[in-house]
Amino acid sequence: MRPLIAGNWKMHGTLRDCAALAEAVRQGAAATPPAAELLVCPPFPYLQLVAVALLGQGIAVGGQDCHAAPKGAHTGDVSAPMLKDVGATHVILGHSERRANHGEDDAAVLAKAEAALAAGLVPVVCVGESEAERLAGDAEKVVTGQLAGSLPDGFAAAGGVVAYEPVWAIGTGRTPTEAEIAAIHGAIRASLVARFGEQGRALRILYGGSVKPSNAKAILALPDVDGALVGGASLVAADFLAIAGAC
Ligand code: 13P
């Protein structure tokens, strides 16, 4: 399947920075079209600007979260139909920073993923164990439990994306070993096939956590690694495109 390289810009940059980053990604991808599909997820205030700048350029744009309700009295929140309305096609859900900072549990992520599907957005559902859970030998159990609790029934039919992001590898420069990544991606694949049958084989499973140009090739070559969800390195267009070029 065609790999997906997704950039999670998190809460970084100004309007000017994000416009420049989108333009640099657009130019780079136009000059050297990568084998991978590209997705960028800017902060909400800049999403529409980036979506307009990338319209028709073959680079998808996504939100970093959405509310479970389509509208209502939810101050500060953004709905899935709003994201769709301003040009998003994807939405990251259940990122460990949301799970940790906003107390989002699997049930909350499931409700958001249902909302994304209802709005016609592709959910990119994040799972991943803490360092303590990995050291206790529980990584696989934690991750398959999160999948069971967070993925809606319509996930596979909508081409949903799973992102495996070990919490301890995010922004730390540390990554699991290649064997560890392959093992847990294999377990995620098995769980997707058990839940969704043959459709589960066609779903992308991204690796995220300290992906950079220097380690991308080795990680992206692993079985059942169908792309990457990139944080810090996605803020530098050349690095993001180098990662996409490593597929
Ligand atoms: P880093 O690539 O900065 O480790 O972030 C990963 C991440 O959280 C992407 O969602």
Nearest to 208 by CA among 245, 246, 239, 162: 162
Q: Is 128 in the pocket of ligand 1 (CB under 6 A)?
A: no
Contact present, 51 and 17 (Cβ < 8 Å): no
Confidence class for position 1, pLDDT limits 50, 70, 90: very high
Q: Is 8 in the pocket of ligand 1 (CB under 6 A)?
A: yes
Q: What span, in angstroms and rounded, lies between the C-alpha atoms of 165 and 143?
A: 10
Q: Write down the pLDDT at residue 53.
A: 98
Q: Write down the pLDDT at residue 113.
A: 99
Nearest to 38 by CA among 22, 19, 49: 22
**Residue 190, both tokens:** 């098995």
Those residues with Cβ within 8 angstroms of residue 3's Cβ, 6 or more apart along the chain or in another chain: 35, 36, 37, 204, 220, 226, 227, 228, 247
Name the residue range of residue 53's domain.
Answer: 4-245
Q: What is the pLDDT of residues 134-163, one digit of tens each?
A: 999 999 999 999 999 999 999 999 999 999
Nearest to 106 by CA among 115, 116, 96: 96
Mean pLDDT of the chain, nearest integer: 98
Q: Is 211 in the pocket of ligand 1 (CB under 6 A)?
A: yes
The residue type found at 176 is P
Q: What is the pLDDT of residues 4-57, one digit of tens each?
A: 999 999 999 999 999 999 999 999 999 999 999 999 999 999 999 999 999 999
Q: What share of the chain has pLDDT > 90, as a percent?
A: 100
The SS3 of residue 6 is strand
Q: Find the mean pLDDT for residues 196-218.
A: 98
* 133 in catalytic set: no
What residue's CA is closest to ligand 1, atom 5? 231
Q: Write down the pLDDT at residue 148.
A: 98
The residue type found at 227 is G
The SS3 of residue 122 is strand
Q: Find the mean pLDDT for residues 104-122.
A: 98
What residue's CA is closest to ligand 1, atom 1? 231
Q: Write down the pLDDT at residue 114.
A: 98
Contact present, 91 and 85 (Cβ < 8 Å): no
Q: Write down the pLDDT at residue 142.
A: 98
Q: What is the pLDDT of residues 217-231, one digit of tens each?
A: 999 999 999 999 999
CATH number, position 194: 3.20.20.70
- Residue 208 CA, closest ligand 1 atom number: 6
- Residue 230 CA, closest ligand 1 atom number: 2
The full DSSP string for 38-95 is: EEEE--HHHHHHHHHHHTTTTEEEEES--BSSSSSS-TT--BHHHHHHTT--EEEES-
As for how many domains the chain has, the answer is 1
Confidence class for position 86, pLDDT limits 50, 70, 90: very high
Contact present, 166 and 186 (Cβ < 8 Å): no
Q: Write down the pLDDT at residue 176.
A: 97
Q: Write down the pLDDT at residue 163.
A: 99
Tell me how far the alpha carbon of residue 181 is from its chain's centroid.
16
- Residue 210 CA, closest ligand 1 atom number: 4
Q: Write down the pLDDT at residue 231.
A: 98
Whole-number Å distance, alpha carbon 230 to ligand 1 midpoint, is 5
* 165 in catalytic set: yes
Q: Is 60 in the pocket of ligand 1 (CB under 6 A)?
A: no
Nearest to 21 by CA among 239, 212, 242: 239
